[in-house]
Structure 1
């Protein structure tokens, strides 16, 4: 192969190199497919230029064609062989340009449209090209380029149509997704983010015909507007609901703050629980207002329960002191000896009972214990009285009257306590009346049996 064959782009006298330089374009997959077709042989001229032309005695240069010889120039500078070689190199320059087009189409690096333009230019120039070589073979090679370029153009058009269809289909998918979001989604943040992503992707999609693109854009824009209106309406309703919630929570806070000073511990604690239920049912207020109102509500609750806790602590301390005082009374009552002086024993027990009642309440868990110990002592004294009655009772009638008076006294105390609403004292008086009533029954039995 000659130097011109191994160095594509070498310029010759025909200026073909300029055309070669312009064929560097982006590859298309269609052009690559054309390389698989059978191609005519590559024409060569520089090896044996005398096969394709001659120089006559006066220096005129001829090239052989299918229609006969054609004058291509004149050679006066040297030997005829040098003249043929000169015009053969010009042929090889054109051939090199054509082969470069073939190579680029075959590799996919060439633009079919540019290749066709270049090939047509070469074909038109062959009729009067000042070259010596196998013009028929070169013309066939040029026709091959034209066929492959045409195939490439058709394939490129098909690919463009396919890309346009794919782009349109993708925009159609995006529009449909946007319409679903606009009409159905209540995930306002994620749906809004997705619509922005759709818009970003939309801007990257090219190739859709203008009419279709405008129609799809109108649908997408309409979907975005519908979503924004629906979202705006939702948050407007939410704002109204939060305003109502704020007003309701303001009322709850004000009531909670008024209850702080209450010392009606049970009912007030129950009301605070009810307020908490109503607070939760009121819904969310605007965040800043909601947080501020909650702080006030909790502060009111904490203040009341701290006050109640302090009062309960004081009460528990008082009840514990009362329990110790009653323990001391029990120790004193344990020393009562009915066998020495029954009347004195009754009087001592009566005074202890009065002091017992005056002491007041003890811790709940100790009531049964302490009351039980006192009942044991009372029963011991009562048993001694019963025993005394059974032995001798010269003053039985007087005792009956005395016991009856005591019963009436305690019954009157019970009635008075109930009228005053003092349930505890009423129950204590009734218990003592019951005890004296039993003693009265025993005394009356003793009198009737004499």
Structure 2
């Protein structure tokens, strides 16, 4: 923006100069020396000036001085012009061959050009353009005013330049403050990048999410490069120190990542080797037809698989698929074999269900001998019938067992009733109880004769108990008889 304004300023200045009417060879001179002013030679005639020219020289077109200009300058008839400044007359130059008003107007126009440049600089300050070279512009304009080769309100122009000096200082202070704020924000952003990179590098490698961490570290590096390219400059020393920290964090992070994956690759190789051995064993068993033994061997292999170390997810999934495939081959073959057996056993099931129906017809048991004989016949045919499907085995066995239990109970009850030893024991108990009751009755009669209430009570209680026992034993004897 500043460069654009400066170019505009120069263009406007050039346009001003080019638009100013250029006099003939007798154009206004620069400020003469005091000796030359004292001599004050008359300007040559236009015809003499153009001597040697075949064509007449046209008089320059000059704008007459305004009333405002006349306050700050004076012109003589010979074209010498003076600046009125602080009550003094200062010679500024000569415009020969023109009227006093035209001569004053020419030098007033030069002053207006300076004022236009001052106004342009004021506009740049008002717009808060970049202040670079503004002080140089003020110094340059001061130097132009100090040459005293123009007519105008010099003091006011100098005052505007003084004001511009102060305003430019304030603008530069504001720019410095803004720059420092931007620099502080940039420094904080760079510090944040470095701090996050150092935090990633300081993580425990065993607990680091390497995919996410690597992606984030790359993002931080891209952010660093963008800041280097487009961010506010922080100074070589500061940027170098921050870069060294960031580079060190990336180096540590990359070293940890390489070490972690190297160790992981080694662990994966060990796990893969161990599981491949288990797979070899599983595949060797997959064609076995020893269903029970092999199923137990597969259970043992599964326990060993669970305790084996894990490889990477991709490899572990592939290894498990091979191991599981060997198992499924065996168990699918066993299932097909069992299905064939179950088909054969289903015919046996029909026979055994008919035998269960026949056995249950024996209940309730009225003739133990006939029931036992019939049940034995059913058992013989049961064994001849063979096996039933595994799913029905428990049900049909329970059906026959319920009849067998009923016959066995009836047989036990009959034995109890006909056991000679039990009868002998019962008769002996009856004899003893009857003798004891006779003795207690005698004791009771004696106690009553003597009127002993306590002995009467004891004899009555003992007698009642023995009589109750006697009743129970007689019932048992009746059942045995």
TM-score range, shorter chain: 0.5 to 0.7
Structure 1 residue 196 and structure 2 residue 218: aligned? yes
Determine which structure has more spread, i.e. the larger CA radius of gyration. Answer: 2
Partner residue, 1:301: 327
Asked which structure has the greater RCO (Cα within 8 Å, sep 6+), the reply is 1
Provide the C-alpha distance between the structure 2 equivalents of 1:96 and 1:129, rounded to a whole number of angstroms.
17
Partner residue, 1:88: 108
The CA RMSD over aligned residues, in Å, is 3.7
Structure 1 residue 365 and structure 2 residue 387: aligned? no
Measured after TM superposition, the shift of residue 281 of structure 1 is 3.7
Equivalent of residue 344 in structure 2, options 311, 318, 336:
318
Could you tell me the TM-score, scaled by structure 2's length? 0.63
Change in 2 beyond 3 A, CA 1:145/1:310: same
Structure 1 residue 136 and structure 2 residue 155: aligned? yes
Matches within 5 A, 1:4-403: 11-13=15-17, 46=66, 48-66=68-86, 68-109=88-129, 111-184=130-203, 186-203=208-225, 204=227, 205-266=231-292, 268-286=294-312, 289-329=315-355, 350=376, 352-362=378-388, 363-372=393-402
Measured after TM superposition, the shift of residue 184 of structure 1 is 1.5
Aligned residue pairs total 349
Runs of at least 5 residues in structure 1 that lack an aligned partner in the other structure: 1-6, 17-44, 337-341, 390-448
Provide the C-alpha distance between the structure 2 equivalents of 1:328 and 1:73, rounded to a whole number of angstroms.
148
Measured after TM superposition, the shift of residue 211 of structure 1 is 1.6
Measured after TM superposition, the shift of residue 315 of structure 1 is 3.2
**2:200·2:213 contact (CA, 8 Å) conserved in 1?**
yes
Measured after TM superposition, the shift of residue 73 of structure 1 is 1.8
Partner residue, 1:440: none
Partner residue, 2:3: none
Structure 1 window deviating more from structure 2 (365-374 vs 293-302): it is 365-374
1:194-219 Cα offsets, whole Å, 9 max, x none, are 22222222221441121222122111
Provide the C-alpha distance between the structure 1 equivalents of 2:220 and 2:232, rounded to a whole number of angstroms.
14
Measured after TM superposition, the shift of residue 102 of structure 1 is 0.5
Measured after TM superposition, the shift of residue 76 of structure 1 is 3.0
Partner residue, 1:436: none
Could you tell me the TM-score, scaled by structure 1's length? 0.67
SS at match of 2:74: strand
**1:91·1:131 contact (CA, 8 Å) conserved in 2?**
yes
